[in-house]
Amino acid sequence: MSLDRLIEKIKETENPSVVGLDPKLDYVPTFIKEKAFEKDGMTLKAAAKAILTFNKGIIDAICDVVPAIKPQAAYYEMYGYHGVKTLYKTIQYAKEKGMFVMTDGKRNDIGATMEAYATAHLGTTLVGEESIDAFGADALTVNGYLGTDGIAPLLKICKEKDKGIFVLVKTSNQSSGELQDLKIGDKTVYEVMGDMCEKWGAEDMGKYGYSGVGAVVGATYPEQLEEMRAKLPHTFFLVPGYGAQGGGAAGVAKAFDKNGMGAIVNSSRAVMCAYQKGGYDEKDYALAALNEVLRMKKDITDAL
């Protein structure tokens, strides 16, 4: 267990950012959609195939300059089991291209059921005598509301398979404070959750000083980012909310340690929909995504 493979990919690409692949059908260029509809009609199957084509185009364009992708499960489930097949194929394609894949599923449940989620997304499923990757991601986002026995099954599989998790600590949305900012004694709920991340991660530390248990801390709350960076020295941060949600580079810089490590910043819509801005032909959506990714890399690394 650890996030060392992710950290190494970040060093290799000199880019602490991740592209969120949250592909609504609206984001997919018309020429891709039309071709899919022609073949399979206006069906979930056609939608799912169009999204896969779109994702592959983006992955091809960015795989040498971005260390990781973060597909968001919701946008695949929206297209039913066909969409979930596209999630699987997207994960496999990105891995073939050498990328680190973090499935954003925010999964959570009690022991035996959490074991099934861990097996599904990070482990291998036993069928008769065969062990098979059901999805085969490198990391999974999870929700720690159920406490240690909702996390322990993940830690076991992370150790066995050299994979990691990211636990929701302080989310990027406006109402995140309704529960997360409330005080338990002299700590907030998100601080309590952060402390649990340090505790869960202590079992197996990676060689760069970060454990396999990361935390999700939103770019939209720079003060909390800075505070949590100081308090959770062994917890790697996944930082959503940069760009479309309003988080800026100066803010996200606070997620990093003094060596410019310890965090990865996500951008989804701004990359996927880059072609819709700035006068691109929709056929050049992948080039537009690449340009946005390079702009973002410079924006963040300049701020570090």
Catalytic residues: 106
Contacting residue, 171, 224, 235, 267, with a copy of itself by CB under 8 A: 171
Q: Does position 198 bind a copy of itself by CB under 8 A?
A: no
User: Among residues 65 and 146, whose Cβ is nearest to a copy of itself?
Assistant: 146
Using CB under 8 A as the criterion, what x/- string covers residues 134-163 for binding a copy of itself?
xx-------xxxxxxxx-------------
> Strand 125-127 vs strand 130-132: parallel, antiparallel, or unpaired?
antiparallel
Using CB under 8 A as the criterion, what x/- string covers residues 39-68 for binding a copy of itself?
---xxx-xx---------------------
Residues 6+ apart with CB under 8 A from 206: 1, 2, 3, 4, 7, 212
Q: What is the Cα–Cα distance from 109 to 168, expressed in whole angstroms?
A: 14
Task: Count Cβ atoms below 10 Å from residue 284 Cβ, excluding itself.
Answer: 16
Return the closest-CA partner of residue 241 out of 206, 272, 266, 209: 266
User: Among residues 44 and 303, whose Cβ is nearest to a copy of itself?
Assistant: 44
Q: Nearest 10 degrees: CA dihedral of 270, 274, 279, 283?
A: -160
User: Among residues 135 and 236, whose Cβ is nearest to a copy of itself?
Assistant: 135
CA distances from 224 to 62, 119, 127 (A): 30, 33, 45
Q: How many residues bind a copy of itself (CB under 8 A)?
A: 73
User: Among residues 55 and 108, whose Cβ is nearest to a copy of itself?
Assistant: 108
Q: Does position 128 bind a copy of itself by CB under 8 A?
A: yes
Using CB under 8 A as the criterion, what x/- string covers residues 259-288 for binding a copy of itself?
------------------------------
Q: What is the Cα–Cα distance from 153 to 117, expressed in whole angstroms?
A: 9
Q: What is the Cα–Cα distance from 185 to 178, expressed in whole angstroms?
A: 16
Shortest Cβ distance from residue 218 to a copy of itself (Å)? 9
CB 234 within 8 A of CB 257: no
Candidate ranges 8-16, 78-86, 257-265, 271-279; the one touching a copy of itself (CB under 8 A): 78-86
